[in-house]
Structure 1
Amino acid sequence: MAEYLGADGELLHEQGTLVVAGVCQDSRQVRPGDIYAALPGAEHHGGEFVAEAAQRGAVAVVSDRPTEILPAFVVKNPRKILGPLAAWIYGDPSTSLDVYGVTGTNGKTSTTFMLEAGLAAAGLRTGIISGICVRGPDGVSEAERTTPEACTLQRTLSAFVDNRVDAVAMEASSHGLALHRVNGTFFRVAAFTNLSRDHLDFHKTMASYFDSKAQLFLPERCACAAISVDDLYGKALAERVTVPRLTFSSHGASADVTATDIEADQTGTSFVARHGSWERKIRLRLLGCHQVDNALAAIAALRIGGVDIAAALDGIENLDTVPGRLENVEIGQNFLAFVDYVHNAGAQLRLFPYLRSLSKGKIIVVIGATGGRDPGKREPLGRTAGSHADVVVVTDECPYRDDATALRNDVAAGARHANHAEVLIIPDRSDAIRTAVCLAKAGDIVVVAGRGNDNVMNYDGTEIVFDDRQVLERALVKYAK
């Protein structure tokens, strides 16, 4: 059977014409008129569910496998063409929006929230697509992953257009780029925060990880760029991009946009931002020196994007929290307690010096390693925590199918290798958080690390509802001195 795509959203083949309503890669969510994208997966192939998709009203299939159940477009790599196909079906929505994409190892979520706050304060109708939530004028939903699958992304962008959104702030993960989820999306500005070891279970090498990030900055993907040059990867990226770009630095590197006079305390973070003759003193309500890096990323992106920067900065300064990102949990205790998403050594090196600056007491960290990830992260994760904290409580984080005991032992071995902190292994995360609170005295700092705002732990497919913030608050109420 010969098939091809015609104009006006029609699927043409030798037996007639089918009108296409949308595209979906989850057979359980197919709606009448959808093309079903039957993709290869880690455990199952979408081709196993074509019959279910047909029952739900799918009119055709895109896959790397043939099927006799529905008209099929068989291509070598369906993921590559799925984004452009979905964009075409939904009216190429990113061309009607100013999409600001943020990529990098750490800081993506905070930068994305700052961008959305700045865009809104500048008078634009906004949407946000992040690892925490997807939010627009028609409401908010919990994010399933950092960067949505291609079909979901294009459908979301199309809904934003229908709701008269002007600009979108969006996280672009390395998985989202490598798996072609952002194909078919054009970015007004692409921003790069930093790069350090993470996700090598997927990318295998740092070079491959970097190359995935760099895809966002190709001229067919973005109109312009904002790039941190505070690490070697950012410097390399700035040299290779061909689109107009602004570089930024908070560490004294030669850059277009810079930050100086950085001061961070228990209530916020101050710095002076400069770009050419433009200068402004900024006071963030977000905590930690690392938020200066994220703010600079947003500032550089907004400036090169042509946004009213004075108004945008008012919005950034008024942003008071990013869920699970150094989120203060306060019930009147005589020590500080935070929940933070920090889950790799690079992020730890950004966090711990700030925590140390807040107190001369002990830093007590609750930490673990997520299963199904790069095993090479575990020892450095523990070693960095052990080097900077005074007490390291190693516990379960989200083992998935990995051996939870092995995960804990690897992290604990790294912490002990630092030969600095007291190291405890407490498998149950609730018990670990309770122990950290019980150990804390006046002037100390407790930080529950690794999960941020995640609210589910997974043990070999069994999901347990668990919110670090809620568990920490209950422990403080019951045990804080």
Structure 2
Amino acid sequence: MTLADLLLDEGLAIDDADLTVRGLTLDSRKVEPGFVFAALPGVKVHGRDFIPKALANGAAVILTDAPVEAPVPVIVVDEPAALLARMAARFHPRQPGHIVAITGTNGKSSTVEFLRQIWAGAGLEAACLGTLGVTRGDNVEVTGYTTPDAVALQAALDRLAGEGVTHLAMEASSHGLKQHRMDGVRLQVGAFTNLTQDHLDYHPDFADYFASKLKLFTERLPVTGRAVINVDSEWGGKMADAARARGLEVLTLGWRGRDLTIREITPRAASQSVVFSWRGTDHALDIPLVGEFQILNALGAAAIALADGVAEASVLASLKTLGGVPGRLEKVGETADKAPVLVDYAHTPDGLDKLLRAARPHTRGRVIVIFGCGGDRDASKRSKMGVIAANQADHIIVTDDNPRSEDPALIRQAILKGCPQAEEIADRAEAIRHGVAMLRAGDCLLIAGKGHETGQTVGDVVHPFDDREQGRQALAEREAARV
């Protein structure tokens, strides 16, 4: 593909328009001869610092935001990340015909996976893309990012379309939206789950966090698109207002939803009985998920599918058989007395609150929780999560969770300000063994923070660590000790 092809309709005067471009990247280490290297501004460093490395590796074009001296064509624009996304969409031109993007603080991973299952149940070639990777059928390809960089994202879309995928549900992170990673994605539907405190280490304030999420409805969706929004919070109402002001078709859901209205949720042993109304027609069914927030995710996926024309009977049948998402209230085992051990990704104040509230109706005895907070991340949430644990749990074990460059003892100390009666066990594996050992009949152990993740980051080193595997090992040790 020529440089002129990649810049079609951009209105840019360029040298060497007939130059053949063999690839695009924003990582100088991945540059090959004939590549466009995007030298983008970053949080800590600027990509221009890596231009010499890119040139040494054979970069044929530089894309950046300020003039630089280079022996190859240099494209200078105010928003190079946005242009890179559009160029990547031209370089990898195929995309699934129906793409849904879902944003919000919590619930994105579950909602895209539930939507994939509902589509698949209707006989559609479906996939989902997000924090857990790219999922199609039983195959999961780990990507490592909620919203991959623009080049990787477009390459994934092109590949999925080539494999016959017609329906894709993808997560839209605040980082991805603010950094223009999704600018080249041809969306049909945008959805919103909720908004609570998170990522304030990246966003300067909550207003910026909200504004970044809002971009899905004010910029990324075409005016012919549809917005499906949970309006149980004030933020959902603001999202819906902004979408209507743009002229989008807006559907609302939730306890306050107009199109899909939740009437009743009753917890069962391993499921929940749900009554909801879809555009005036009531439905009652059991959904095999634990936690009210999971029902909201499942019904959010159902509303998207129903609005797209998937038959009600098919959607209802899929809701009755939904499979859980890895690391989201995932049961990893239970004691001989049937006390379950559950692993969840909850790592925000709201996420921890919802997790603890979800477990309570299903627990006759004590709710025991193990959690920590990440280093080099929003420090203001640490004591808040401690307070939530103190208010909602019967026993708390504060431990380490990706301390990164910070002193883990100081992180734990900040958490303990909110829950001074909690136990403190720095070693996460030891904390899990202790939590499992103290379980009695009727109790429930929640291990929060990592979910599906398989590493513990200390300094710059990622050590292998899986809460699910540690939970299983602790249960096996407990059982062996009984023999």
Instruction: Report the TM-score when normalising by structure 1.
Output: 0.91
Contact 1:226/1:301 (8 A) holds in 2: yes
Alignment pair present for 1:447 and 2:451:
no
Q: CA deviation at 1:274?
A: 1.4
SS in 1 for 2:276: strand
Distance 1:202 1:168 in 2: 28
1:71-82 matched pairs, under 5 angstroms: 71-82=73-84
SS in 1 for 2:146: coil
| Counterpart for residue 282 of structure 1 | 285
Q: 1:56 to 1:266 in 2, by over 3 A?
A: farther
Q: CA deviation at 1:326?
A: 0.3
| Counterpart for residue 248 of structure 1 | 253
Describe the superposition over 1:400-428 as per-residue Cα deviations: whole angstroms up to 9, x where unpaired: 12221111111111112xxxxx4111111
Distance 2:260 2:427 in 1: 45
Alignment pair present for 1:226 and 2:228:
yes
Contact 1:9/1:21 (8 A) holds in 2: no
Greater displacement, 405-414 / 7-16: 7-16
Q: CA deviation at 1:138?
A: 11
| Counterpart for residue 375 of structure 1 | 379
Letter in 1 for 2:340: L
| Counterpart for residue 99 of structure 2 | 99
Q: 1:137 to 1:64 in 2, by over 3 A?
A: farther
Contact 2:189/2:221 (8 A) holds in 1: no
Contact 1:369/1:399 (8 A) holds in 2: yes
| Counterpart for residue 267 of structure 2 | 264
Q: CA deviation at 1:220?
A: 5.0
**What is the Cα-based RMSD across aligned positions, in Å?**
2.3
Instruction: Report the TM-score when normalising by structure 2.
Output: 0.91
Q: CA deviation at 1:261?
A: 2.7
> Where do 5+ consecutive residues of structure 1 fail to align?
417-421
Q: 1:54 to 1:318 in 2, by over 3 A?
A: farther
| Counterpart for residue 115 of structure 1 | 115
SS in 2 for 1:181: coil
Q: CA deviation at 1:16?
A: 6.3
Q: 1:318 to 1:32 in 2, by over 3 A?
A: farther
Describe the superposition over 1:52-75 as per-residue Cα deviations: whole angstroms up to 9, x where unpaired: 434544321212352414322122
Alignment pair present for 1:64 and 2:65:
yes
Q: % of aligned pairs identical?
A: 35
Describe the superposition over 1:58-100 as per-residue Cα deviations: whole angstroms up to 9, x where unpaired: 3212123524143221223322322122112222x44x52111
Alignment pair present for 1:164 and 2:194:
no
Distance 1:381 1:159 in 2: 41
1:82-481 matched pairs, under 5 angstroms: 82-91=84-93, 93-94=94-95, 96-136=96-136, 140-218=140-218, 221-222=221-222, 223-242=225-244, 243-249=248-254, 251=255, 253-334=256-337, 335-416=339-420, 422-479=421-478
Greater displacement, 286-295 / 348-357: 348-357
Contact 1:111/1:294 (8 A) holds in 2: yes
SS in 2 for 1:259: strand
Distance 2:378 2:124 in 1: 40
Q: Number of matched residues?
A: 469
Q: 1:56 to 1:122 in 2, by over 3 A?
A: farther
Q: 1:116 to 1:30 in 2, by over 3 A?
A: farther
Contact 2:334/2:341 (8 A) holds in 1: no
Distance 1:450 1:110 in 2: 16
Q: 1:139 to 1:59 in 2, by over 3 A?
A: farther
SS in 2 for 1:457: strand
Alignment pair present for 1:6 and 2:1:
no
Distance 1:74 1:317 in 2: 53
| Counterpart for residue 48 of structure 1 | 49
| Counterpart for residue 419 of structure 1 | none
Q: CA deviation at 1:430?
A: 0.7
Greater displacement, 373-382 / 39-48: 39-48
SS in 1 for 2:169: strand
Q: 1:33 to 1:107 in 2, by over 3 A?
A: same
Distance 1:400 1:292 in 2: 34
Contact 1:122/1:312 (8 A) holds in 2: yes
Q: CA deviation at 1:208?
A: 1.7
SS in 2 for 1:6: helix
Letter in 1 for 2:249: P
Q: CA deviation at 1:272?
A: 2.1
Letter in 2 for 1:98: H
Distance 1:331 1:383 in 2: 28
